[in-house]
Amino acid sequence: MAGLFGFNRDQIERIAGMLRDYESGATIRPNTQRRRPLPAAIRLKIGKLKGVLTQGGTQDIDVWTGTTETDSGDDINAKDWMLKSGESVASGKKVTFAWVNGRYYVIAGECA
């Protein structure tokens, strides 16, 4: 049965408990069951280009893992996000890439 403002009894008791905790100075902990995953941009990866990456183009990347920066044996294809017209990143250069909007994008690359 709906109570005050459509809340049921359990919800009202939970809210009242949170208010009591707040008023007493207790630290209110977030509900970890509703924690959102990290934004995609935070999930960065590193690797080396397998070919030349040109402005607006795509290129395969050898994905590196671990603290020793070794080739994981995995390859991915990523699209350029950072280059200006006429710029490129040479084959074998180190890059940082991120999963954004359903694909990988190169967001930083080693200078020549």
As a 3-state breakdown, the chain gives helix, strand, coil percent values, each rounded to 5, of 20, 40, 40
54, 86 Cβ separation under 8 angstroms:
no
Which residues are 93's β-sheet partners? none
Domain boundaries, position 22: 4-34
- Indicate the pTM of the whole model: 0.60
The domain that holds 71 is classified in CATH as: 2.40.50
Is 17 in the same domain as 47? no
Q: What is the pLDDT of residue 78?
A: 94
**DSSP character for 50?**
S
The candidate with the shortest Cα–Cα distance to 75, out of 54, 97, 90, is: 97
Q: Please write the tens of the pLDDT for every residue from 79-111.
A: 998 899 999 999 999 999 988 888 899 988 887
Q: What is the pLDDT of residue 23?
A: 67
Is 74 in the same domain as 23? no
Using alpha carbons, list the distances in angstroms from residue 67 to 39, 60, 61, 64, 99.
23, 22, 18, 9, 21
Is 95 in the same domain as 56? yes
Q: Please write the tens of the pLDDT for every residue from 46-77.
A: 999 999 999 999 999 999 987 777 888 889 99
